[in-house]
Every structure is written in structure tokens, then in C-alpha cells.
Amino acid sequence: MDFTRGQRLKLEAMGLSDGAFSVTVDLNAGPLTVDVACFGLDGVRKLSDERYMTFFNQPATPCGAVKFAGQGKFDFDLARLPASIDALVMTVAIDGAGTMRQLGASSVSLKNGSSVAGCYRFDGGHFASERAVMLLEFYRKDGAWRLCAVSQGFNGGLDALVQHFGGSVAEKPAPAPAQQRPAPAAPPPPAPPKVSLSKITLEKRGEKISLEKRGQAGHGRIVCNLNWSSGQTQEKRGFLGGVFGKAKSSGIDLDLGCLFELSDGHKGAVQALGNTFGDFNRAPYIHMAGDDRTGANSSGEFLYINGDHLKDLQRVCIYAFIYEGVANWGQADGVVTLTVPGHPPVEVRLDNHDNSKNMCAIAMIENEGGNLKITKLGEYFAGHVQLDERYQWGLRWKAGSKD
């Protein structure tokens, strides 16, 4: 099935009701250098979480619902998207000179396995001076996923596209004034600008924020992500290559976990060590999503808290520890991000350089009359026992390993 500019279709009508399919952007770009990306947007069509921008240098969303497979191809599994993501927009942006008017016969196709479910065909005649274009939008409506062939863009390029989605781009330095005589060789150009999205960064120990629930359902799925790098960098290309920083190294094994106390007084821990992965839909309403032992997963590790059961949770202490690969947190360059649907992400960086303290208490999440109170802890310990004693959990610990 071919569809046209502005047309809207239900994915079910295209045989894609399960939401698992691939999207391939095939560009006849000629001399142009064009980057393809997928933006995951919230209910007000904003990129509130920069981890849901998928492209060659950030090849997967945290939930694995969108994966960049190379050569303009993306694999989708819409059932895995969190409730906070309501739309996915496929975009193309020119890196360098030129406009979309220079495109030859191009297309974006949807495939279910090897079968083509739909195709949108376009060329430079669809555009004027645009340098960035929204091609397709996949969006939720009335409980079903739909598709719209948007095919609209921005003369200002990727900068304007990012700003349209609620981000801001660092200003580029003004050009140097003209020289009346030969000038010494110019320094190398500055690094490409980085998207700066709305977020809350807890800088000081004890700093608190309180988040009110949105609507009657509760707080939804609260996502806690631990990510890290070793200071190594990936090869970058064009503007998109500079949007995000360092690549996560292999060989570093950092673990995310938590202590929990339920409203009925029951206490415990959720972590990969000991294979206590928890349960999202039953007590303790906290689930640890696997264990990245090699550092090969660029998205890091994830802990999910069922915010719709906040009434059953009294407090949760988020922590992380170094299992192997680095001597201290400063070397790992770790960062933990807490994302509550409908609110800006909360970020806490791990930067302690003490080799004797490989355990970090990151944040305390507490039920405060139905609202979430998040407090930065930022304290480092030699191990679980010392952390437990500090926050008076009273659990009994014994040595363990993953072998």
C-alpha cells in the first residue's frame, strides 16, 4: 500500500497491529549528507527525555522499542514503549550545505518481516528550502497506533527541528572579523553543539524535589537508569554525532539496585547480585531489568518502580555499586537518571574518587501523601552493610557473587 502526504492510517489496517515492524528511509541524496533519526515525544509532542532520540550514535531507546539497524533502517516494537512516549517521528536533516529540494526519488517503507506493509514516496519536488524534515509520525489515539505522512520541515535545519520538539541548541560562536592581512592558521572548529533538554540536576547532598501525581491513575512507570562511560569516544559524524557524548566501555560492570520498605513494614532489596530482580505488578512493585555484565549495552541498566502502587511503598533507597572494571566512580563517569511520567528527568552524577568506597547511595524516593519526594543522598560506602546501617534498614547481608 502506498500512502500520500498528509494521509492518516491505522497501523492495524496495514497489518501491523502487533506494533513490531521495521521502517527504512531510502534517500537518493546525491551530493547531500543527510542524517536520519527517530524522535520519541511525550503527550504534548516534546522530547522530554533525550534518550528517546534514536540515531547512529545512540542506536536504541532505553526500553528497546526503537533500534537503529543501519543504512536508514529502524526496528520498532511499539508494545515496549513506556506510557510517557505518545509519538515517534521519523526525521531527516542535512549536515552541511544544500536543501531538500536537491533530493532525487526517495521513499520510506514499513515492513512486517520481508513483506512491505506500506510505502511513502517523495522527492525534491515536495520541498523548497527545507534542511530538516519530519517524514512520518506514529502516534497513539483512542488506544490504537496510527500513522501520518507529515512531510513538513524547517529551513533552519536540525537546530530548528530540535527547538520545535522542545529542545534548545547551544549557540555557535560568532565568526571572526575579516583580517586585513594574512592570519595565522585557524584553530580547529569547535565541537558540534549538543542538544540541551529540560532536566532537573540534583547537585547537593540533601537537595529535595516533590513531584505531584498527574491524574487519578498515579505516577505511572518510574524509570531509574544507570549509565556510564570510560572516557573513550565513538567516531562521530555531522551534527547528530555531537549531540551525545561518550561511548560506554566494555569490561566495566556496575550494578543498580535498591532497598525498599513497603507500607506494611516489609523490607528487602532488588538487585542483580543474588538474582533478586523483584516484580513490577506484585509486591515489591519494583523490577530490575536484567544485568549488563560487560558494559556492551549502551543504554546501561534499568530499575522500574510501579508509581501506580505508591500507596504500597513507604520508601525506596536507590543505590549502585562497582562490581568490577574500575577502581572508583570518578573513573566510571556514572550518571543515574530518574524519569517520572509527566515530569522532567532527575539526574544525579556519581563522581567520588575514593577507591575504598565502591557503593553509592544515590537517592531516596518517599511516599509523601501520595506525592513523590526525591532526595539526593550522594553518600559513598565500602559495601551493602554500611549503607544499610546508615539508613537503618536492618537487613541481614552475606557475601555473594554472580558466578
User: What residues of the chain score a pLDDT lower than 70?
Assistant: 168-199, 213-217, 229-251, 290-299, 400-403
Number of Cβ within 10 Å of residue 55's Cβ equals: 20
pLDDT value, residue 212: 75
pLDDT value, residue 43: 87
Q: Which of 317, 338, 267, 277 is nearest to 62 (CA)?
A: 338
CATH of domain 2-165: 2.60.60.30
Secondary element (H or E) of residue 162: helix 158-164
CATH of domain 200-232+251-391: 2.60.60.30
Matching fold, domains 2-165 and 200-232+251-391: yes
pLDDT value, residue 219: 82
CA distances from 118 to 67, 113, 153, 335, 363 (A): 20, 12, 22, 40, 46
Residue 228 contacts residue 248 (beta carbons within 8 Å): yes
Q: List, in sequence order, every residue forming a beta bridge with 348; answer none if it has no partner.
A: 336
pLDDT value, residue 188: 53
pLDDT value, residue 77: 95
Per-domain residue ranges of the chain: 2-165, 200-232+251-391
